[in-house]
Structure 1
Amino acid sequence: MATSNFIDYVKINCRSGAGGAGSAHFRREKFVDKGGPDGGDGGRGGHIIMKANSQHWTLLHLKYRKHIKAEAGVGGSGARCNGKQGNDVIIEVPLGTIARHPETGEVMGEVTEHDQEVILLKGGRGGLGNWHFRSATNQTPLYAQPGEPGQEEWIVLELKLLADVGLVGFPNAGKSTLLSTVSAARPEIADYPFTTLVPNLGVVAYRDFKSFVMADIPGIIEGASQGKGLGLRFLRHIERNSILLFLVPATSENAGDEYRTLLRELELYDPTLLDKERLLAISKMDLIDDEAKADLIKTLPTDIPYVFISAVMQEGINELKDLIWKVLNP
């Protein structure tokens, strides 16, 4: 998949429709004397609605659609005929999309289930026709309400991928290799840093036709919270993951220190991430011998479950799946 095809942040200008004006009309028929007011109401303006679509997984289709405008309501007419309601505009987005105000950061809505809808901007109400203002003391009201104006705002749409397991690790820790081994996802894999430039999702098959979703995000490095490497731009995609799976290669100088460095960068980004369930997988075990493994174990943290794996040799993969499933389904 081309890097340019993954868009997880867009800023768009939205305007809901204005309400139609009420009608100041009087009934005029040949055999009806003093028919009186019969002006109808104006139609409501169209809403701007955000709707979740599970077939979308990126905001690419909105990248070049900077202005979105809903239809205005039609004015009322005689014979108490109400005006037509303006058509709503539905913005389809992937599951996990949040709409924010660009200046205040206020969350205007979010969608996490297929077909879930959130009204971002309401259309203006239609004005009341003069029929509503008739009374014993005002039998010929000349007044009808104008329609309310629509709302206009710049809105930021931000995608946070929904997954059961989020992979966290330095570049070349083996995250992409693991994802390609346990799922049908085919992320780019190469022997140089930052081969993963966009998040990748994969569905991992488990026993008895069960499955869970795993997300691989670009590798982070020490100092990422200060903008080094690719920074923390993509860490929003693990905010909604149930489990954080840390991947540390067996060839690291000190696997425990590397894990703690990753943990520190997550804490600097968002301390609440440390409240999530955490697992540790020591990857590339095919590259070390038993003596090196014994030294490796001495450096590992004691407060987190860990498993040794080799995605290339298919070793430890079932144990890792069992551990993940056990944590997902306690």
Structure 2
Amino acid sequence: MFILYRHTDIEWQLTPEDYSLILSPDRALDQVKKHYDLDQSHYNYFGFFELPARLSSRPQTWRRAQNGYADQVHDTVKDSLRTGWLIGIDRMKDWSSFNNPFYVDEKGNLVCESPAWYHEWYLREIIDGYKNAVARRNGVKASPTQRFSYGGNYAEPEQHAQAAKTINSKAAGRLLAAGGIYNGNIEDFAKTAQQLGGDAQSGYDQVLNETTVGAAIAITSVAAGLGLGGLGTISEISKLEKQVPSQSTLAAGAIRANKFSGNWQTSDLNAAVTKFAGNDPLVTMTNSGKRIYAHPVTGVQVVEDLTGNYFRISDPSLSGKRTYLNLDGVVPNNKILESGRQIGRTQSEYNEATHFNIPGRK
């Protein structure tokens, strides 16, 4: 039976033997379309890290949106599978090279046969999950996978230790630097780069050096070092913002503003504070570089991002996931088309309507 898991749950829910049965992102998406509800009209909001509802007796009502139209649930699940935030597995089917990217080699290590085909985070989530599952079982690894090709023939046993092959390129060093930030463990990843030798240390230093490691590590340098050409998708920004250690998140607001502020309104911060937080607001600071102005009675907040030079208006008393307001003080869930018809805003449209650039600070 096919099941979706969040990446944070796999090391607790899967045994070491299960990991070779994890499906590739494409094959997992094929199964999601059969077994999970992707109909956007059935959700008030659907974000990253969320599991869609599993279909029981009711049929799948989802149909792929036309080109150019948003298909939020499907696209979010697709991207989450690609980056390893969601993991699909079918324990009822035997291993095959077409469905399963990973196998356990003769030494009990989990190996991906074609790592270049998959996102770095997808590989890391699964391989780290396997290691943690083995550690929880007191170091007992899974038995070697009985491998079959797509056509059903046995694959020849590997006679070399490709999984243990030393990688010492600059690309490996850059990936280790990003991994240090991603896991909040810069020192150990730096030692690994040093131990690999070759060009790994040089690649590591391209991303993390005396000017970039500190209280405000530039997340953009990580993206450039990985060759991502900038943070190409919302998911990549969200991933870094959520997972980098706290000393690095000071730069997150600047990255978000650099990516999206061209679609935001510009508005007067002082006027917004007076309108929503009153003449004598409670002012606090967060570790992530935000100044919060809160109304002492209503609790409504104006949240100023100091590095991103923008603000948002939040009402923590609201239920649900959309608690940010527009300049009129309402949650902008809907919009009016030129025809006069009212439709719901997508998440990206909602974000645009609730972020406000601060003039004169760019």
Output the TM-score relative to the length of structure 2. 0.23
Task: Identify the structure with the greater strand proportion.
Answer: 1
Higher relative contact order (CA 8 A, sep 6+): 1
| CA radius of gyration, larger in | 1
Output the TM-score relative to the length of structure 1. 0.25
